[in-house]
Amino acid sequence: MTVWAWLKLTAALWLIRKAFKLTWWLLLAVAAIAAWPVTVVTAAGYTAAWLRGWPPVRLYRAAAWSLPVTAAWLVYLEIRVPGFLAARDPRRTWAGGWDHLTTTRLAGVFAALAPAVLPAGLALAGLVWAWRNYAITAGLGGKMASAPISFDARQWSRQVRTARGLTHAPGAVPLLARGNKIPVGGTIRAIGHPWHPAFTLEPGACARHMVIVGSTGSGKTNLMIRLWAGWFTAAMAAWRAGKGGRPVREPTAALGPPTFPQEIGFRPGCRPSC
């Protein structure tokens, strides 16, 4: 094989790969435009998860919570037009949205289809966001080798901001949550455990010796007071329900003094021995 033939073969293979890639992106763009109500919800959900540092499971839960609205909407269509084909109205509404491409008309079509497109769009946004996280972590995405580190650092700062906002919101973190659990604060990130917006502890976890480590001014004392108050509230509720003993009794030689969380503070720039 001559050098010229090798160059022509390499150029042909490169053009074929680019043609397949361009065709894929064109088909994806056509599908996104054709299903534009779902695309709008997907883009909004993906952007919200990216800016707020949400995990994909939060989008999945939002899609699941919107399913009852979809079911009620389908029941309404069935009652209004009896018969199994009553669900053909969404197709008619979607097809009618292409007659007049005006802002008012498109907004009306989206509002009419919202009960159906919200669950689908949010679930699709969760899948796309999960793939983006996987691609960056696995090195499949990003232009530089440091892309996973930069992506993780930005997401961590957004997750911290979101958790801090939840903690500071009035009533978002009550003294005692469902299941008699003690809320500690907004969850920054969950690894190897189910994610929940607020991090909670079982009351029994406060019966063991606890150590709270943090820098000066990080709210260690407030956390100690919150944990003790939450444990006392949960223990009193269990005692009134006959499921446990009285939480606070007069210390005796057998019981010893009650155990409270121990606070260890660090001054910035110092070692723990400071």
Confidence at residue 253, expressed as pLDDT on a 0 to 100 scale: 47
Q: Where are the domains of the chain?
A: 35-163, 174-266
Query: Residue 91, Cβ neighbours under 10 Å: how many?
Result: 10
The pLDDT tens digits of the residues spanning 249-270 come to 555 444 444 555 554 444 444 4
Beta bridge partners of 262: 211
Give the β-pairing of 198-201 and 182-186: antiparallel
Mean pLDDT over the full length of the chain? 80
The pLDDT tens digits of the residues spanning 17-26 come to 999 989 988 9
Residue type, 80: R
Q: Is residue 164 within 8 Å of residue 186, measured between CB atoms?
A: yes
**Cα-only R_g, the chain:** 28
- Judged on CB neighbours under 10 Å (0-12, 13-18, 19+), 41 is buried
**pTM (predicted TM-score):** 0.73
Residue type, 34: A
What is the SS3 assignment for 51?
Answer: helix
Beta bridge partners of 264: 213
Q: Is residue 74 within 8 Å of residue 58, measured between CB atoms?
A: no
Alpha helices for the chain (secondary structure H): 3-34, 36-52, 56-80, 89-96, 103-138, 147-168, 220-240
The pLDDT tens digits of the residues spanning 182-209 come to 888 888 888 888 888 888 888 877 766 7
Q: Is the pLDDT of residue 133 over 60?
A: yes
The pLDDT tens digits of the residues spanning 89-125 come to 566 666 666 666 667 777 877 887 888 889 999 999 9
Locus of tokens 């699709």: 124
Angle at 200 between CA 195 and CA 201, to 5 degrees: 125
